[in-house]
Structure 1
Amino acid sequence: MAHAHTNSNDLPHVTVRGYLIGFVLAVVLTVASFWAATSGAFRGESAIVALAVLAAVQVIVHVVFFLHVNASKGQRWHAMSFAYTILMSLILIVGTVWVMHNVHMLMMAR
């Protein structure tokens, strides 16, 4: 009977400790986001930047600790598809904000 040999380094190492660390980090980042939005510590654009940074860090925490996407050879396609999704999302978001800004500027010119 032939046995298939797999490289254990390509498989994600799933532990309860890893899930707990990810959960604690996600809760801390969520609480920090609510605090940043409700405390008044950040005003205007700095609040948006702070929330965007906290959201980006939380996405990374979820991808690493819960989806187990890492830089190993077996996960390379998952990482590439995730990077493509992020790129397309950024193009969509930035393009939408750009168009809305231009429309606003043109409407104010009248």
Structure 2
Amino acid sequence: MGFALSLILTAIPFWLVMAKVIPSSGLTAFVILAFAVVQIVVHMVYFLHMNTKSEGGWNMLALIFTLVLVVIMLAGSLWVMHHLNANMMPTMMHDMRNMP
């Protein structure tokens, strides 16, 4: 069951991109991201056998902790990159000419 779901969840996004079913690239990326999240859950349940009862719930607690750390790192990285882009890059051409 898990293998069949993995194949389907891989084939559908591939078909969406190759056949250009969705004209908007942003919407296509969002749909592919949704399929990726579903596929992660399928892999965790069917291949890693993760549930709330395995090993007294410690596996799930470790997964939640890992997800929190990943979200903090991604959000922090995006915040720093936006801050650097907003404050370090000249905003207009005349700003570039006035630079020493």
TM-score, normalising length: structure 1: 0.67
Cα RMSD after superposing both structures: 2.1
* Greater percentage in helix: 2
CA distance in 1, matches of 2:23, 2:75: 22
- Alignment length (residue pairs): 90
1:83 aligns with one of 64, 67, 90 = 64
Residues 47-106 of structure 1 show CA distances to partners (whole Å, capped at 9, x for unaligned) of: 221111111111100000000001216341001111111222222223323333444444
Structure of greater relative contact order (alpha carbons < 8 Å, 6+ residues apart): 1
Per the alignment, residue 95 of structure 2 pairs with none
Secondary structure at 2:32's aligned position in 1?
helix
Report the CA distance between 1:31 and its aligned residue. Answer: 0.8
CA distance in 2, matches of 1:23, 1:108: 51
CA distance in 1, matches of 2:83, 2:65: 27
Q: Aligned runs of 1:65-84 on 2, under 5 Å?
A: 65-72=46-53, 74-84=55-65
Long gaps (5+) in structure 2:
93-100
**What is the percentage of aligned positions where both structures have the same residue?**
29
TM-score, normalising length: structure 2: 0.72
Long gaps (5+) in structure 1:
1-20
Per the alignment, residue 97 of structure 2 pairs with none
Q: Aligned runs of 1:42-53 on 2, under 5 Å?
A: 42-53=23-34
